[in-house]
Amino acid sequence: MRALYAATFAILALSFCCARPVQAQCSIRDAVGQWAYNYSGWYIPAGATTPVQISTHGVFIIDWTGKVTGPGTWAMGAPLAGTPITAGEMLEFDFVDGAIQVNPDCTGLLSTMMKFKALPIPALGPYYGRIIVLPGRNEIEGMALQAPGTEKPMWTYTLKRMSYQPGPVTWLSPPAK
């Protein structure tokens, strides 16, 4: 009987010491829904050498196919080249033709195109960011990887889940001046 207990204990001990830790298993389902975000950082515009600060916030809407859309507000610390937009002026935009990819290890890639509402210019992009999906925290962490017009974007962002359902949001605007 003592030998049986010893053998059972040895088998249990080996199974615990040699067990592999549980790996995260993520998929697109962990990213579907509405996400509030705040981007902050800088980039170097094409032809310039000085970094320009930027700030953006809004809502990403991610559907079951990985399509990314949603409204936002954007401002930067310099004039927008080729437009009448001055430094610090707030611009409203929509993300169009965006996509998210999520790997089983919870890393991924976010790509977006920005269409400014007040400017008669085509959508800008694509913008690419590396992401980490944190399903237990209902967050997605990210960092800019590539942006049009610059080789050196540097902004980080955190997306916080608002809803598990992808659907439109109502983006309110202040009254006209």
Ranges assigned E (strand) in 7-153: 33-43, 52-62, 67-76, 91-102, 107-116, 124-134, 139-146
What's the predicted TM-score (pTM) here? 0.80
Single-letter residue type at 88: G
Specify whether domain 24-163 bears CATH 2.40.160.
yes
Does residue 104 have a cis peptide bond before it, meaning omega lies within 30 degrees of 0? no
What is the DSSP code (8-state) at residue 166? -
Predicted pLDDT at 154: 81
The token pair at 46 is: 């094409």
pLDDT tens for each residue of 59-72: 999 999 999 999 99
Parallel/antiparallel/unpaired status of strands 67-76 and 139-146: unpaired
Report the pLDDT averaged over residues 82-105.
91
pLDDT tens digit string along 106-138?
999 999 999 998 888 899 889 899 999 999 999
Most confident of 11-15, 33-37, 169-173: 33-37
- Asked if residues 107 and 131 have their Cβ atoms less than 8 Å apart, the reply is yes
pLDDT for 19: 46
Residue 158 in this model has a pLDDT that exceeds 70:
yes
Tell me the domain boundaries of the chain: 24-163
Mean pLDDT of the chain: 85
β-strand partners of 70? 95
